Structure 1
Amino acid sequence: MLNSVAKPFTKLVERYLPDPFVFVILLTLVTFALACIFTPSSSLEVLDAWGSGFWNLLKFAMQMLLVLLAGYMLASTAAINSILNKLATYANTPAKAIIFVTVVSLCASWLNWGFGLVIGALFAKAIARQTKVDYRLLVASAYSGFIVWHGGLAGSIPLTIATTGHFSEQSIGVISTGDTLFSGFNIAIVIGLFIIMPLVNRYMLPCDKDSVYVDQASLSEPIPKKLDLLRPADHIEHSRLLGMSIGIMGLAYLVYYFALNAGSLNLNSVIALFLFSAILLHQTPYNLLTSLQQAVPSGAGIIIQFPFYAGIMAIMVDTGLAQQISQGFIAIADAESLPLLSFLSAGLVNIFVPSGGGQWAVQAPIVIPAAQALGADMPRVAMAVAWGDAWTNLIQPFWALPVLAIAGLKAKDIMGFCLVQLIITGVFISLVLSFY
């Protein structure tokens, strides 16, 4: 049944979905027009907001890029690659392949979104080298695990509000991750998605005549070149002692940071954990830099598109357009329905503001006073915004860019399947937020 449902969505998306860069340009123009029409801002004021905000997220963009690159370098180490290739041998039928790649991606994304995107894509390639399976759905399944990231250990909203000094501390205080990430309703959503997503992907599997296969030879891993170490500098670049020493030093600091200094799991500590682990497992500076060169193309889309999304965010925030969208949902809410309506509004805003931290900055000034006025459960409302962000990432091409770059596909190849995933998971998350 799901295969029949997915087929028209797939054809529709393949025909009409443009490249993600074209998508962000169109989104910019649409946001500009909406702000001019529905807010008091003049066209010149909207233009000023866009241009002034274009560079506002450079620090955050660098963090996002480093998460991706560090995750890629760790995932591409010989140790991790060996594990992926070994696991891929168990996915010896199309159904097993789809289920297995989904579960691995879910697990990795729950740990960290950057690691999940990279591991999912590399594991999909490892499976496709050994098993004949629809490559579009395989990659879509690898991407689908990304949906759990904001309910996992690297979720930016729950980690933000659990950090002393966050921008809304005066309003809501510091909310422990025990009330958000490790609450009963959040664990129920995560466990439910771990069950639902593999089954949804499995039952979207096309029949043989409708499947699109990849040339397995094109996915073969490059054979390492044998290098002659002629210069003293070559020996330094290939020094295991040098590479592993700095890796051990970085990890030793993290042990001190977490165990002895009560450090928190934030974006910078996640980057450090992945980076120093990658350095240690690659052993030599040369191996690490080779992996980095392979990783950089997967971040090209983030580099060029993030400023445009920063400009869109600036329009949404400075003109009050995002607040209007959120207020429109919240105006009809009561204490029980506020989490659901916050979830839906966050899903809509996420199309324009594809950043968990950025989205909380947009919606917190709306949902916090509403939750306080209505007597709603603040941790549940905050996590509803987080899940709304994670939910519509399924159809936001921005975050699919790393997966697509690694897999060698385009957004139109997988987004038809992602639309089906969006509908089913949206219903499930809505039910848990409303009734659990």
Structure 2
Amino acid sequence: MLKVVARPVVRLVERYLPDAYIFVLLLTLIAAGAAMLVEGQSPMAVLRVWGGGFWGLLSFSMQMLMVLVSGYLLASSPPVRRGLTALARLAGTPGRAILMVTLVSLMASWINWGFGLVIGALFARALAREIRVDYRLLIASAYSGFVVWHGGLAGSIPLTIATPGHFTADRIGVIPTSETLFSFYNLAILAALFVIMPLVNRAMMPDERDIVLVTPEQLAEPEPVAGKDASLPAERLENSPWLSWLVGIPGVLYLVVYFIVDGGGLNLNSVNFLFLFLAMVLHRTPRNLLNSLTEAIKGGAGIVIQFPFYAGIMAIMVESGLAQSLSELFVSIADADTLPFWSFLSAGLVNLFVPSGGGQWAVQAPVMLPAAQALGADVGRVAMGVAWGDAWTNLLQPFWALPVLAIAGLGARDIMGFCMIHLVITGVVIGAGLTFL
């Protein structure tokens, strides 16, 4: 049944969904128009807010670009390529490949969202080299695991409210992760998704006549340069492993100290640091690393051009009061039992325009928390409703798919048809878990 349902949805999306860059331009116009029509903002006020916020994500943009680049560098190193190939050969069949990539992505995203985005896409590429499987569904399956990130160990909203001194501590105090991430309802939602998502992806496998295979060019990797061919002093330095090892090994040792001695956790910076310095060591020579970098950087164009536009959209949504009005609309029809569900839906809608977990919580917390206290709702569950809503519509919002698509060499329209099916099914599972468990 899912195969039958997925086929027209995939074709419809492939025909009508524009490039992700066109999507962000349309969102900009929608947000600006809504700010003027709904919030009564003047065109000049919206223009100033948009322009003033346009560069608000520069630091985050560089982090995301490094996720793409450092992940590609690590995966293209000979030892990791051999390891991924060996793991991919265990799949054996297209159906098993879909199941494996979904499970790997789910587990990696539960640990850390940046880790999950890169690992899932890289493993999908390795599988595509070994098995004749629909490449679009393979990459969509790798991306589908990302939906669990905000219910996992790196969920920014539950970790924020569990931190002493957080910005809403004077209202709700500190809410431990035992009441959010490790609560029964959250673990039950995760368990259900870990079972359902691989099966859904397996069930959507297209018929043989509809399969779209990857081209060899999309999976090409730079070949290592042999150091013995270098003749000039500069070339010998570029092709010597010693310089890479003298800098790369201390970088790896720092991470050992960071994780084991200092008790540091996985975050975007530590993931990038890990990928980069392991890549330096495993590529052996600076020249091999630079050859791989040339290929890696080609996929970063979408991140570079689109993230500033999303920063401008976020500024319009926040400064105009539009995001707060959307939240208040959903709160107005809720009661104590249904507020987590309506928080989930409102967060999913806001996430289309404010695709940032921390930024979204800053916008919605001043609305959701007073409502939760006034209605006598479970504050931790309401916060997790916002967290899951933020993660949920990432299946529709191409913002977070950009690194995956860049690694895969695909466009948003290639995978979003499958992701629409994911959106419906995960929405039912998460909404039911937040409401009834």
Q: Give yes or no for TM over 0.5.
A: yes
Say whether 1:292 aligns with 2:296.
no
Deviates most, 151-160 or 42-51:
151-160
Gap runs ≥5 in structure 1: none
Corresponding residue number in structure 1 for 2:388: 387
Note closer, same or farther for the CA distance 1:327–1:207 as it changes in structure 2 (3 Å cut): same
Corresponding residue number in structure 2 for 1:43: 43
Say whether 1:101 aligns with 2:97.
no
Q: Is the 8 A contact 2:108 2:119 kept in 1?
A: yes
Corresponding residue number in structure 2 for 1:130: 130
Letter in 1 for 2:124: A
- The 3-state SS of whatever aligns with 1:332 is coil
Q: CA RMSD in A?
A: 2.2
Task: Give the Cα separation in 2 of the matches to 1:193 and 1:67.
Answer: 25
Corresponding residue number in structure 1 for 2:358: 357
- The 3-state SS of whatever aligns with 2:179 is coil
Letter in 2 for 1:210: D
Corresponding residue number in structure 2 for 1:149: 149
Task: Give the Cα separation in 2 of the matches to 1:312 and 1:398.
Answer: 12
Note closer, same or farther for the CA distance 1:331–1:203 as it changes in structure 2 (3 Å cut): same
Q: Deviation per CA, 1:335-375: give whole Å up to 9, x if none.
A: 22121111111111111111222212221222222223233
Note closer, same or farther for the CA distance 1:65–1:371 as it changes in structure 2 (3 Å cut): farther
Q: Is the 8 A contact 2:113 2:146 kept in 1?
A: yes
Task: Give the Cα separation in 2 of the matches to 1:52 and 1:327.
Answer: 26
Q: How far is the alpha carbon of 1:186 from its aligned partner?
A: 2.1
- The 3-state SS of whatever aligns with 2:14 is helix
Gap runs ≥5 in structure 2: none
Say whether 1:278 aligns with 2:282.
no
Task: Give the Cα separation in 2 of the matches to 1:316 and 1:132.
Answer: 44
Q: Deviation per CA, 1:49-102: give whole Å up to 9, x if none.
A: 111111112122222322333333333333322221112112222211211221
Task: Give the Cα separation in 1 of the matches to 2:339 and 2:254.
Answer: 42
Note closer, same or farther for the CA distance 1:139–1:43 as it changes in structure 2 (3 Å cut): same
Superposition map of 1:157-306 within 5 A? 157-216=157-216, 219-227=219-227, 228-306=229-307
Q: How far is the alpha carbon of 1:143 from its aligned partner?
A: 1.4
Q: Report how many aligned residue pairs link the two structures.
A: 436
Q: How far is the alpha carbon of 1:250 from its aligned partner?
A: 2.8
- TM-score norm. by structure 1 comes to 0.93
Corresponding residue number in structure 1 for 2:113: 113
Superposition map of 1:41-120 within 5 A? 41-120=41-120
Q: Is the 8 A contact 2:147 2:391 kept in 1?
A: yes
Letter in 2 for 1:84: L
Task: Give the Cα separation in 2 of the matches to 1:281 and 1:147.
Answer: 31
Letter in 2 for 1:214: V
Note closer, same or farther for the CA distance 1:80–1:373 as it changes in structure 2 (3 Å cut): farther
Task: Give the Cα separation in 2 of the matches to 1:183 and 1:282.
Answer: 43
Note closer, same or farther for the CA distance 1:94–1:341 as it changes in structure 2 (3 Å cut): same
Q: How far is the alpha carbon of 1:407 from its aligned partner?
A: 2.0
Note closer, same or farther for the CA distance 1:65–1:216 as it changes in structure 2 (3 Å cut): closer
Letter in 2 for 1:209: R
Note closer, same or farther for the CA distance 1:139–1:21 as it changes in structure 2 (3 Å cut): same
Q: Deviation per CA, 1:16-57: give whole Å up to 9, x if none.
A: 100000110011001111111000321211111111111112
Note closer, same or farther for the CA distance 1:81–1:325 as it changes in structure 2 (3 Å cut): same
Corresponding residue number in structure 2 for 1:5: 5
Note closer, same or farther for the CA distance 1:45–1:190 as it changes in structure 2 (3 Å cut): same
Task: Give the Cα separation in 1 of the matches to 2:77 and 2:389.
Answer: 33
Task: Give the Cα separation in 1 of the matches to 2:143 and 2:273.
Answer: 24
- TM-score norm. by structure 2 comes to 0.92
Corresponding residue number in structure 2 for 1:414: 415
Corresponding residue number in structure 2 for 1:335: 336
Note closer, same or farther for the CA distance 1:183–1:365 as it changes in structure 2 (3 Å cut): same
Letter in 2 for 1:407: A
Corresponding residue number in structure 2 for 1:396: 397
Q: Deviation per CA, 1:292-337: give whole Å up to 9, x if none.
A: 3322222221111111001101110001000011111112222221
